[in-house]
Structure 1
Amino acid sequence: MSELIQAVLDSEDRNDLRGLVSELRQQEQGYLLRNDILNLFDEYCSKYQKPENFFTYSNLGKLIYYTQEIIHIKEESTLCFIIRPKIASQEIYRLTADFKVEEMSVQELLDLRDRFVDKYNPNEGDLLELDFGPFYDYSPVIRDPKNIGKGVQFLNRYLSSKLFQDPNQWLEGLFNFLQLHQYNGIQLLINDRIASQQQLSEQVKKAIEFVSQRSDDESYEVFRFPLQMMGFEPGWGNTAARVLETLNILDELIDSPDPQTLEAFISRIPMIFKIVLVSAHGWFAQEGVLGRPDTGGQVVYVLDQAKSLEKQLQEDAILAGLEGLNVQPKVIILTRLIPNSDGTLCNQPLEKVHGSENAWILRVPLREFNPNVTQNWISRFEFWPYLETFAIDAEKQLLAEFQGRPDLIVGNYTDGNLVAFLLARRLGVTQCNVAHALEKSKYLFSNLYWQDLEDKYHFSLQFTADLIAMNAANFVVSSTYQEIVGTPDSIGQYESYKCLTMPELYHVVNGVELFSPKFNVVPPGVNESCFFPYNNSQERIQSDRQRMDEMLFTLEDESQIYGKLDDPTKRPLFSMARLDRIKNITGLAECFGKSKELQEHCNLILVAGKLRVEESGDNEERDEIVKLYRTIDEYNLHGKIRWLGVRLSKNDSGVVYRVIADRQGVFVQPALFEAFGLTILEAMISGLPTFATQFGGPLEIIQDKKNGFYINPTNLEETAAKIVEFVTKCEQNPNYWEEISQKAIERVYTTYTWKIHTTKLLSLARIYGFWNFNSKEKREDLLRYLESLFYLIYKPRAQKLLEQHQSR
């Protein structure tokens, strides 16, 4: 039995548990989540005048703290407690009417959830049960939850220990791995003059002796041929010093392997030259798309990542001594072509990425089916029927563009990750996933009530695609730790897939192995050419500054600006996001409207979506437009708010942040949930004190009250009070704004740059490539299982949706 429950039953708190259970059974609400449970317990403590510390420190208080859900089956007078005693773990207990505690299986819990929504019928037989657990039995597993997300460090330790335990087998694997690598048919690293791992060890020592006699800065090309005679091809370094350093690392790895040496060596191997970044949905272009439906941070992320990856690949090739081979790394962003492109370049099949030498956007059209649908933008919730044929068509074009296979495929978001799976499966390429956001976490009970939401969101397809892609990936990149496994009191996005029901479709008893070393936290960076500190006057263009200042505060243009400020000199409270429910811009407006004190000190400036319902093709955006106008009228915010319905380029976005900072403004990110939060980084590096949602990634970006502030966007009064407190402090102490501003800038430069990101990502790709080559992990059975899920569950449902689209 749970230690938490046993402690209650063995103490005086047993009677209080009885009392609380009595209160629970009187609740109309039959399914209580953590906040509901805590509120009910708080009411219980007040009602029965419990001591102050009872809520937190009693045995019952501890049990309630770790209880994530309580389900009340009224006809049996039974309560089910789902307890999360530590991160990434779950215990399930049934408390019967006669106060007996019984442990429940995951299968029983899923049946119980089905019963709760009247979707359980034992007379119809069992439901399809998905269990990915057995496929991870043969791979190493992390033990300590705090090391989740540090997969590559764990894998390095594991691999080096294997080298130590069975040196002959693993040195043979290393030798075979070094023989693999080529560039356009040219052999790299070692040639057939080295015929065995034993000979490799001997020749490395000879090569070290030879190279150590040369001057450090001597070019590799000068002594290339003597090294080739010893068995060493290009790839070891561009100078004698670099070659010697790489050979010494290999020598040390052969003689006394350790994790750091293994990572240092594998990270230098020239094995990645061609990368595909899949970002399928939305409007993907370099100008004029941000703020359109389904188009925001992901586009910024992928474009910046592409440029940074290409630059890093070029640097790596030079350091490896491959200049003489005319190596030209190439990065392709794979997205969909939109024929009716609404003035954007989304109808161009191929577009070079600005500021790059060989990074491209490749747009592949969807097969027509019904041109009325496929020639236009398609919502990410409706996109699913086209992904398989899109992947098939994209494969041909990628092979032509690269003149061969890519070395790495990185998926973005659920649809891009599914396409990455289909491509990687066909091409035999390493697959990396980036979720950005898993929709399941955004919509409460979205899996439990999926049938009610299917017409609008098609979650059966989305969640099935998530399960396929996250298990298929060789490695997964997340922006934060909590994206994977949450916090001590909240479940992570990936963790939410561990155990779930899709009533009348399937049960997932083990959907993802959270302790797998495939998970790695690699936060994105900021585009430093567009976003930089407001006090960096040398980089700023005065005309841009004046233009944006006028647009934000004084320009009268009813076509794209709503609202005129009575007093433009007030401190600006600023936010910039799409107008959708989760981004919660309307919630910020309501927060501002409810606080007279906040209105006295500040103006509210919003850059958000469109101004008119008829201009939007997105249902959620239309709802939010109506709600924002209603909020402005309800709280009479005229003269205190400016709403800009504009789409800004990245350069202009950077100017906007800096103009707000010129006036010692504040940035507020009020999302109900934010997987990471690129706008937070952009605001912070610009020097803006930032208030950001406590739900999601911002908890790991901001250090509360040091370089920014957390807010609970569901508590409007508390949020307003925190901002007012900050603004008041700034008025009392003119240096306070500057202190927070400077610390925000420092936080980004030390932790969130693209250089840090791409160096880590490429290191991961090389190490996981080495692991997959050398391990005895047989992924084929897992991949076959995933294919079955794709063809038997996903594809038939996608076909039904396609039939609906064809009839439009």
Structure 2
Amino acid sequence: MSQLIQAVLNSDEKTDLRQFASEVHNQPERYLLRNDILSVFDTFCEKYEKTPAFQLSSRLQKLIYYTQEILVEDENLYLIIRPKIASEEAYRLDPRELVYEQIQIDELLDLRDRFVGHYHPQEGDILEIDFRPFYDYSPVIRDPKNIGRGVQYLNRYLSSKMFEGPQQWLFSLFSFLKLHSYNGTQLLINQRIQSPEHLSECVKQAISLVGGLPPEQPYPEFRFNFQELGFEPGWGNTAARVLETLEMLDELIDSPDDQVLEAFISRIPMIFKIVLVSIHGYFGQEGVLGRPDTGGQVVYVLDQAKSLEKQLQEDLQFAGLDTLEVQPKLIILSRLIPNSEGTLCNQRLEKVHATDNVWILRVPFRELNPKYTQNWISRFEIWPYLETYAIDAERELLAEFRGLPDLIVGNYTDGNLVAFLLSRRLGVTQCNVAHALEKSKYLFSNLYWQDLEEQYHFSMQFTADLIAMNAANFIVTSTYQEIAGRPDTIGQYESYRSFTMPDLYHVVYGAELFSPKFNVVPPGVNESVYFPFTRHQERTPGDIDRLEELLFTLEDPEHVFGHLDNPGKPPLFSMARLDRIKNLTGLAECFGQHPQLQDHYNLILVAGKLRTSDSVDHEEINEIERLYRIIDQYNLHGKIRWLGVRFPKQDSGEIYRVVADHKGIFVQPALFEAFGLTVLEAMISGLPTFATRFGGPLEIIRDGIDGFYINPTHNEEIATKLLEFAKECATNPDYWQQISEQAIERVYTTYTWKIHTSRLLSLAKIYGFWNYTSREKREDMLRYIETIFYLLYKPMAKKLLAKHMDS
């Protein structure tokens, strides 16, 4: 932001700016990120003996605070400044002459290419990807604080359009209402209502009819009189419910209002069949958690599917469709793995427990190379199989549903890409859930993609992300920061707005953060599995005893490493996959570096496998080896228990409660966490929870009230926070209980699946209506996306497939 730089140059702090620039030039790194910049500023202030007031409120401090990156090239500094959320500007600063100029995005991307030695202007221009023009057709949110509230904005936009052009929008609404049917049975309105104007008249007649009936009179008792006026089932199950829905429509026709629009569209019975797409890893109900690429996403999708079915059943009952024996059906589309390692992932169809009509449908990858397609395939290697998978899955889905689904929800990059391919072919509303965007998790992953390609294949992943996020009708995120970050942190989706893949392409504009397609809808937890440790009547004594022994004393070299010299110490507990991002080895290292922690706690980890020979995941193997090294280096024998156990879901809930029985704490030390289901699980169980400040836990936890933030990159800070908590518990016996109770309350009031699924279905209906009224305006973007898919993604996928075939 030029005002920030100019303010420094117009003051007596310009000398300070030159001195700070000198400190930057003295750094060994030529590319500094925010933490590096703040560290250099602290060094500068110390060296030049700056006052505390200068460090906290000077003009230079303000400029430094908003600077996200500094690149050093020759004598110049390039400052990437983020003056506010979802806004970024870049400047070239000559600290010798104290002059600056703003540079455009194409110059910045060229600069980053030069930084890694991949700038070749003599060979011609590089491909530029720019989605900005395609968003000119759609409404755009103006205020950053409303990012993630897309549906509210869209409702206001639609109602204003209805008010400005009532005839056109009434026709659209009339046409939309005529669309709906179930298995050949017409819903809502029939051919007796012949025009939008006629609809308005008939609605008033129907209101008069139903208004004279007893409120609780069941719909079947006045169905035929209702039909004579042109109305079919779907308005409600009682006279009162039907009247309420008709009055909404009447008000919408006469005086459009955004809240009435949302309430009315949300009542339309238009969703009966849903596909939830989750491709990678082992997708199953038992014995899969903790396997490679298999964790929170599986829990999320299964719980979401169960809750969606309940919500659909409730909605259809209120709509009066239970008398027609309308039954919703949900299919979780995943991958069939022939060599399923003792799981059920080799079964084509599996009923989801405790549901009426929810199924896991597993479709295999085409058997191009049995060495790969017969076995689990890493999420980083999955890309060559997704297009043909979508083609095969389409056939299977149409057979299972006996028709089209009404909504397709993708999960993670691979599932979102398949959701796009299916949605495009079937013409069905598409919803995306990212769970995690790898670009944010792996530092400089786009800039050094060529060095990482052999291991991670980010070229395909980031291209697939661009395709899916722009193609989706709407996107569900768990937190606001997932979209647009925080004042001092760039959001996951924000990182896709502009970036370079040197020698491959430049993304000039890859994501429209202000699009109303973004909606924050946090998930919940399965309350039948995860509930407070104080609900003793719902717990099974035998399970408690068995898990107590496993956690603290059982000698089982096959599944447990380590014994505890003093099992009575409170457990410092964590449970996650053993991969670099989850950072359990970092937590073990912190524990080892601080003997005071060892005096207060035992470290108990539930994490993956114990032996490298049992794993085929390179990251897991590296983390296993590192954990053993840390245990030996800091002599943690007698102070740590490492369980290489995959727990059934019921056991995973009870484990949190057993740890809470022992007045333990839960630590989630991930280097980055998109949301943090384990954080919710621990909190609802009553465990005081310490979680990473990088990602979703920042919005789950209120620091110091119902949990605590930690910086997983600073072991000293982690140890200090954990020790402060232990000391407070020692001096105040009620403190542990206070945090525990507030954690439980936080989850129950904010993070339940009931809240999530009712919101998701409302979104699906409203975006379905928006998609219907504006579908012709999306075709140009979809054609552009197809061009990227066929000319960029597909050749890269073919190249990886050829490599698989040769190995």
TM, length-normalised to structure 1: 0.99
Q: 2:66 aligns to what?
A: 66
Q: 2:21 aligns to what?
A: 21
Q: 2:10 aligns to what?
A: 10
Q: 2:80 aligns to what?
A: 82
Contact in 2 for aligned 1:335/1:363 (Cα 8 Å): yes
The one-letter code of the counterpart of 1:388 is E
Shift of 1:98: 3.2
- 2:565 matches 1:563: no
> What secondary structure is seen at the aligned counterpart in 2 of 1:609?
coil
The one-letter code of the counterpart of 1:116 is F
> What secondary structure is seen at the aligned counterpart in 1 of 2:725?
helix
> What secondary structure is seen at the aligned counterpart in 2 of 1:53?
helix
Q: 1:667 aligns to what?
A: 666
Mapped partners of 1:53, 1:634: distance in 2:
43
Q: What is the 5 A alignment of 1:60-459? A: 60-74=60-74, 77-96=75-94, 98-459=97-458
The one-letter code of the counterpart of 1:85 is P
Q: What is the 5 A alignment of 1:745-764? A: 745-764=744-763
The one-letter code of the counterpart of 1:61 is Q
Shift of 1:304: 0.4
> What secondary structure is seen at the aligned counterpart in 1 of 2:69?
strand
> What secondary structure is seen at the aligned counterpart in 2 of 1:362?
strand
The one-letter code of the counterpart of 2:37 is I
Contact in 2 for aligned 1:686/1:745 (Cα 8 Å): yes
Mapped partners of 2:8, 2:315: distance in 1:
59
| CA-to-aligned-CA distance 1:425-448 (integer Å, 9 cap, x gap) | 000000000000000001110000
Contact in 1 for aligned 2:86/2:144 (Cα 8 Å): yes
- 2:755 matches 1:782: no
Mapped partners of 2:638, 2:775: distance in 1:
68
Shift of 1:715: 1.0
Mapped partners of 1:639, 1:28: distance in 2:
41
Q: What is the 5 A alignment of 1:334-733? A: 334-733=333-732
Contact in 1 for aligned 2:131/2:509 (Cα 8 Å): yes
Mapped partners of 1:450, 1:524: distance in 2:
32
> What secondary structure is seen at the aligned counterpart in 2 of 1:775?
helix
Mapped partners of 2:775, 2:795: distance in 1:
34
Contact in 1 for aligned 2:76/2:93 (Cα 8 Å): yes
Mapped partners of 1:6, 1:525: distance in 2:
47
Q: 1:798 aligns to what?
A: 797
Mapped partners of 1:24, 1:535: distance in 2:
54
> What secondary structure is seen at the aligned counterpart in 2 of 1:463?
helix
The one-letter code of the counterpart of 2:281 is G
| CA-to-aligned-CA distance 1:6-62 (integer Å, 9 cap, x gap) | 111111111111111222223221111111111111111111111112122111110
Mapped partners of 1:602, 1:591: distance in 2:
13
> What secondary structure is seen at the aligned counterpart in 2 of 1:664?
coil
Contact in 1 for aligned 2:363/2:389 (Cα 8 Å): yes
> What secondary structure is seen at the aligned counterpart in 1 of 2:137?
coil
Mapped partners of 2:745, 2:721: distance in 1:
23
Number of aligned residue pairs: give it.
Answer: 806
> What secondary structure is seen at the aligned counterpart in 2 of 1:730?
helix
Mapped partners of 1:26, 1:240: distance in 2:
78
| CA-to-aligned-CA distance 1:589-631 (integer Å, 9 cap, x gap) | 1111111111111111110000001011100001100111111
Mapped partners of 2:445, 2:253: distance in 1:
52
**Stretch of structure 1 that moved more, 91-100 or 260-269:** 91-100
Contact in 2 for aligned 1:413/1:437 (Cα 8 Å): yes
Mapped partners of 1:551, 1:654: distance in 2:
14
The one-letter code of the counterpart of 2:15 is N
Contact in 1 for aligned 2:9/2:98 (Cα 8 Å): no
Q: What fraction of aligned residue pairs are identical, expressed as a percent?
A: 72
> What secondary structure is seen at the aligned counterpart in 2 of 1:581?
coil
> What secondary structure is seen at the aligned counterpart in 1 of 2:32?
strand
| CA-to-aligned-CA distance 1:672-693 (integer Å, 9 cap, x gap) | 1000000000000001010000
- 2:35 matches 1:35: yes
Contact in 1 for aligned 2:334/2:363 (Cα 8 Å): yes
Mapped partners of 1:21, 1:635: distance in 2:
40
- 2:54 matches 1:54: yes
**Stretch of structure 1 that moved more, 629-638 or 500-509:** 629-638
Compared with structure 1, are the counterparts of its residues 776 and 285 closer, same or farther at alpha carbon in structure 2 (3 Å cutoff)? closer
| CA-to-aligned-CA distance 1:750-782 (integer Å, 9 cap, x gap) | 110000000000000000011111237611110
| CA-to-aligned-CA distance 1:446-482 (integer Å, 9 cap, x gap) | 0000000000000000000000000000000000000
Contact in 1 for aligned 2:686/2:740 (Cα 8 Å): yes
The one-letter code of the counterpart of 1:95 is L
**Stretch of structure 1 that moved more, 407-416 or 94-103:** 94-103
| CA-to-aligned-CA distance 1:555-580 (integer Å, 9 cap, x gap) | 11000001111111111110000000
**Stretch of structure 1 that moved more, 450-459 or 23-32:** 23-32
> What secondary structure is seen at the aligned counterpart in 2 of 1:275?
strand
Contact in 2 for aligned 1:139/1:777 (Cα 8 Å): no
> What secondary structure is seen at the aligned counterpart in 1 of 2:519?
strand
RMSD: 0.9
Mapped partners of 1:435, 1:585: distance in 2:
23
Contact in 2 for aligned 1:138/1:777 (Cα 8 Å): no
> What secondary structure is seen at the aligned counterpart in 1 of 2:214?
coil
Mapped partners of 1:734, 1:20: distance in 2:
49
Mapped partners of 2:640, 2:603: distance in 1:
5
Contact in 1 for aligned 2:193/2:230 (Cα 8 Å): yes
Mapped partners of 1:70, 1:307: distance in 2:
48
The one-letter code of the counterpart of 1:704 is D
Unaligned runs of 5+ in 2: none
> What secondary structure is seen at the aligned counterpart in 2 of 1:324?
helix
Shift of 1:72: 0.8
| CA-to-aligned-CA distance 1:86-134 (integer Å, 9 cap, x gap) | 0001111111353321110100000010001110011100000000000
> What secondary structure is seen at the aligned counterpart in 1 of 2:52?
coil
Mapped partners of 2:658, 2:139: distance in 1:
51
Mapped partners of 2:510, 2:53: distance in 1:
38
The one-letter code of the counterpart of 1:717 is E
Contact in 1 for aligned 2:272/2:329 (Cα 8 Å): yes
> What secondary structure is seen at the aligned counterpart in 1 of 2:589?
helix
**Stretch of structure 1 that moved more, 410-419 or 711-720:** 711-720
| CA-to-aligned-CA distance 1:238-273 (integer Å, 9 cap, x gap) | 111111111111111112211111110000000000
The one-letter code of the counterpart of 1:159 is L
> What secondary structure is seen at the aligned counterpart in 1 of 2:777?
coil
Contact in 1 for aligned 2:151/2:763 (Cα 8 Å): yes
Shift of 1:200: 1.0
Mapped partners of 1:718, 1:100: distance in 2:
39
Mapped partners of 2:121, 2:247: distance in 1:
66
Mapped partners of 2:28, 2:743: distance in 1:
46
Mapped partners of 2:404, 2:596: distance in 1:
61
The one-letter code of the counterpart of 1:778 is K
> What secondary structure is seen at the aligned counterpart in 2 of 1:530?
coil
| CA-to-aligned-CA distance 1:661-713 (integer Å, 9 cap, x gap) | 11111000000100000000000000101000000000000000000000011
Shift of 1:161: 1.0
Shift of 1:731: 2.0
Contact in 2 for aligned 1:273/1:407 (Cα 8 Å): yes
The one-letter code of the counterpart of 1:621 is E
